[in-house]
Amino acid sequence: MRPIAFFFTAAFALAVSAAAAGDYKAGSLDISDPWSRATPKGASVAAGYMKIKNNGPTPDRLISGSSEVAPKFEVHEMRMENGVAKMRQVTGGLEIKPGETVELKPGSLHAMFVGLKKQLSAGDHFKATLVFEKAGPVSVEYDVRAMGATPSGTMPGMKGHEH
């Protein structure tokens, strides 16, 4: 293979790999690694996680969303109050300030898919649309990981081992 052909082949492979890894762009926002956990049979809700980085000069907000797996999409926060974990819906949208990254992760901010139409199993993928105040709608695909998975894709206590 000639060097120039090799370069373009390698560049194409890297671009496909990055797209497959779950990175999306909406205006000045970068959305990376949307994922969810597998759900037990009969579960009516699932949580969604991702990172959202604002590369622009003005704040933006995640104001709504929709998904093929559930009729209702909400953004929730979880925090400890007097030793009790409390979860509540974020009202007014989730702000992403200029130059900052907001991570939706277990035990913290997360998307909620309410009224699940089916059980989510590890290895599944599902589509969703995130709606931002300024950047508008963006279609993403969530990877479903094992129950108990962490943001890096590992199981708790299994650092460095992908599952």
Higher-confidence residue: 54 or 153?
54
* pLDDT of res. 145: 94
* Cβ atoms within 10 Å, residue 16: 10
- Per the prediction, the chain carries an average pLDDT of 83
- Give domain status of residue 53, yes or no: yes
Tokens found for residue 99 = 């130059």
- Residue 72, in any domain of the structure: yes
Domain-located, residue 154:
no
Residue 126 inside a domain? The answer is yes
- Picking from 17-31, 32-46, 140-154, which range would have the lowest pLDDT averaged per residue? 17-31
Q: Is residue 137 part of a domain?
A: yes
Q: Please, which residues have CB within 8 angstroms of residue 89's CB and are 6 or more apart in sequence? A: 74, 75, 76, 112
Q: In the predicted model, what is the mean pLDDT of residues 94-117?
A: 95
Q: What's the pLDDT at 66? A: 96
Given a contact cutoff of 8 angstroms between Cβ atoms, the answer to whether 146 and 158 are in contact is no
Inside any domain, residue 151: no
Report the pLDDT value the prediction gives residue 134, as an integer from 0 to 100: 95
| CA gap 78, 60 in Å, rounded | 21
Which of 49, 61, 54, 67 is closest to 108 using CA atoms? 49
| Residue-level pLDDT at 6 | 39
Task: List the CATH number of the domain containing 109.
Answer: 2.60.40.1890
Q: What is the pLDDT of residue 83?
A: 83
Predicted pLDDT of residue 152: 64
Range of the domain at 129: 3-145
| Rounded Cα–Cα distance for residues 147 and 106 (Å) | 11
Residue 82 domain flag: yes
Contact 130, 26 (CB under 8 A): yes
Share of residues in the chain with pLDDT > 90 (%)? 65
φ, ψ of residue 156 in degrees (nearest 5):
-55, 135
Residue 161 forms part of a structural domain: no
DSSP at 122: T
Residue 105, number of CB atoms within 10 A of its CB? 16
Number of domains in the chain: 1
- Selected residue with higher pLDDT from 89 and 11: 89
Torsion over CA of 78, 32, 21 and 14, rounded to 10 degrees? -160
